[in-house]
Amino acid sequence: MAELAYALDLGSSPVRVGGSNPSPRISFKGGFLEYQIVSETETEKEIEFKFGAQELEPYIDLSIERLRPKISIKGYRRGRAPKGLIRTRYYDALKVEALNDLIREAYKKVLTEKNWKPVSEPELVNFNDSGEIRFNLRFEVQPDFEVNDYRGLEIFKEEPLPLDYLYEQALNRLREDYADITETTKPAAVDDFITLDLEILEGDKIIEKQSEVVVKLGDRSFPDELNRALVGVKKGDRKEVHIDNHIYRIKIRKVEEKILPELNDNFARMLNYNNLEEMEKGLKSILEKEEEQRLKEGLEENLAQILLERYRFPVPKSLVEREYQMIIRSSKSIDNENNRERFLPVAEKRARLNLILEKIAQKENITVELEKVKEFALKNGLQYSEMDDDMVEYLRKMMVRNETLHFLLDNSKIIQKRRILSPEEARNVDRTIRH
pLDDT tens string 315-353:
999 999 999 999 999 988 999 999 999 999 999 999 999
- When pLDDT is averaged across residues 141-162 and rounded to a whole number, the result is 93
Burial environment of residue 196 by CB neighbours within 10 A (0 to 12, 13 to 18, 19 or more): buried
- Taking the C-alpha atoms of residue 119 and residue 418, their distance in angstroms, rounded to an integer, is 42
- When pLDDT is averaged across residues 387-415 and rounded to a whole number, the result is 93
- When pLDDT is averaged across residues 243-266 and rounded to a whole number, the result is 94
Q: What pLDDT is attached to residue 10?
A: 31
Residue 9 has pLDDT above 80, yes or no: no
Q: What pLDDT is attached to residue 431?
A: 46
Which residues fall within 8 angstroms of residue 223, CB to CB, at 6 or more apart? Answer: 243
Among 28, 30, 46, CA closest to 106: 28
Q: What pLDDT is attached to residue 51?
A: 84
Among 73, 156, 115, CA closest to 413: 156
Residue 197 has pLDDT above 90, yes or no: yes
Q: What pLDDT is attached to residue 424?
A: 56
Which residues fall within 8 angstroms of residue 122, CB to CB, at 6 or more apart? Answer: 4, 8, 103, 107, 137, 138, 139
Least confident of 20-24, 324-328, 354-358, 398-402: 20-24
pTM for this entry: 0.72
- When pLDDT is averaged across residues 227-246 and rounded to a whole number, the result is 93
**In the chain, what are the domains?**
25-140 (3.30.70.1050), 180-259 (3.10.50.30), 283-426 (1.10.3120.10)
Q: What pLDDT is attached to residue 23?
A: 59
Band (pLDDT 50/70/90 cuts) for residue 20 is very low
Reported as half-sphere exposure (CB side, CA atoms, 13 A), residue 296 has a value of: 10
Q: What pLDDT is attached to residue 24?
A: 65
